[in-house]
Amino acid sequence: MQLTDIPFGVTDWSTVTPTVHAGTTGTATWRTCHFGVIRVRMVDYSAHYDADHWCEKGHILLCLAGDLETELADGRVVRLTPGMSYQVADHAEPHRSRTVGGATLFIVD
């Protein structure tokens, strides 16, 4: 990835307008900024969030709070706790996430 044409800036995530996305259960509240072609999000998953789809988008994801479980289409399951991250390329490995107690993530895609 090459980052170009993005001037230095500071983001106060508390001022970014949230959008709410329903899962099969629970909700994901996104605060989203775009920097050129790069989307950066702060995402809060409610307790008992379960994704309603398999995602094939590539991400770099950092767990800031809570506990996130991500299932891959091949059957693997990974669990992230604060300070852990994962990365996956576009169309590489379909995945979907869930949380029991909620989680806060920082995602770049």
Judge whether 72 and 97 are in contact, CB under 8 Å: no
Residue 1 has pLDDT above 90, yes or no: no
Q: What is the pLDDT of residue 3?
A: 80
Tokens of 9: 């800036």
The CA-CA-CA angle for residues 38, 90, 96, to 5°, reads: 100
Percent above pLDDT 90 for the chain: 93
Judge whether 67 and 99 are in contact, CB under 8 Å: yes
Percent above pLDDT 70 for the chain: 99
Global pTM reads 0.92
**Helix ranges (DSSP H) in the chain:** none
* Domain 19-108: which CATH number of 2.30.40.10, 3.40.50.10860, 2.60.120.10, 2.30.42.10: 2.60.120.10
